[in-house]
Structure formats: structure tokens, C-alpha cells
């Protein structure tokens, strides 16, 4: 699995940033500031792998929020 993962809603109104499979931040927009905070807190653990996924809008509307663990997202929804 990639070390950094960004999951975005299909219509672009919700994003989540995962680090090592754990949700670090979710909001209407992941900012450079959010990413810099993650890097600052975990710079000794970085390996540079990255993934970007779009999640089915129905998933977000049904569940409201992203799960704490990336592995808990049904891969059919990505």
C-alpha cells in the first residue's frame, strides 16, 4: 500500500489524507498546510510512495465521513 493516500469525492467537495493507512485529515479541501503538518510530524518515516483515489459519491452521502483506516473502504467504491 502507498504511504500517502488522498481520497476525493467524485464531485470534489470532500477529501481525506491517509498516512500509512490511517486517516490524518479530512475536510472539504486538503491544504498544503495539512500536508506540511503531516510531513513535519512523520518526516523520519517517509518513503515517498503516494496514491490518489476518487471515491463514489454515494459512499460519502451514505456514510458521511471517510473511515479511520483506508483498508476499511470498499475497494469497489474507489
Question: Tens of pLDDT along 22-65?
Answer: 999 999 999 888 888 888 888 788 777 888 899 999 999 999 89
Report the greatest alpha carbon distance in the chain: 37
Q: What are phi and psi of 21, to 5 degrees?
A: 85, -5
Question: How confident is the model at residue 45, as a pLDDT?
Answer: 80
Judge if pTM exceeds 0.85.
Answer: no
Question: How confident is the model at residue 55, as a pLDDT?
Answer: 93
Amino acid at each position: 500500500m502507498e504511504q500517502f493516500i488522498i481520497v476525493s469525492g467524485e464531485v470534489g467537495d470532500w477529501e481525506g489524507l491517509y498516512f500509512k493507512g490511517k486517516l490524518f485529515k479530512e475536510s472539504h479541501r486538503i491544504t498544503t498546510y495539512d500536508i506540511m503538518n503531516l510531513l513535519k510530524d512523520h518526516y523520519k518515516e517517509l518513503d515517498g510512495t503516494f496514491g490518489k483515489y476518487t471515491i463514489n459519491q454515494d459512499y460519502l452521502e451514505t456514510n458521511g465521513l471517510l473511515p479511520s483506516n483506508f483498508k476499511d473502504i470498499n475497494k469497489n467504491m474507489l
